Amino acid sequence: MHRSGKAGSSFGKMHPGRRRRLSKQELKAERRWRVSKLTVHRESYQHQRQVVNKLIKQAKVMYYTGLVHEKSCDQKALFGL
């Protein structure tokens, strides 16, 4: 499956620095919680994990919506997704 073109490029360019920054914050929060074992650090980590997962899910939805929209007139290509 070839992933190029308008829809394919939107997934990687949605939030170029934001995704990376949030992922780093998530890892930092997890390390803080693992070391300290404090409930407040665990809650911080869980919140940060939810934020990152939500962002990734939104990016996937946008990516696949774009692919479906792009290939909507070609049934063979649409079925191959």
Encode the chain (81 residues) as per-residue pLDDT tens digits: 444 444 444 445 556 677 788 889 999 999 999 999 999 999 999 999 999 999 989 989 999 898 888 888 888 777 777
pTM above 0.75, yes or no: no
Residue 69 belongs to a domain: yes
Domain annotation covers residue 33:
yes
- The answer to whether 66 and 78 have CB atoms below 8 angstroms apart is no
Does any domain span residue 10? no
In a domain, residue 3? The reply is no
Domain ranges, residue 45 = 17-79
74 falls within a domain: yes
Residue 8 included in any domain: no
How many domains does the chain contain in total? 1
Count the Cβ atoms, other than its own, within 10 Å of residue 45: 20
29: in domain: yes
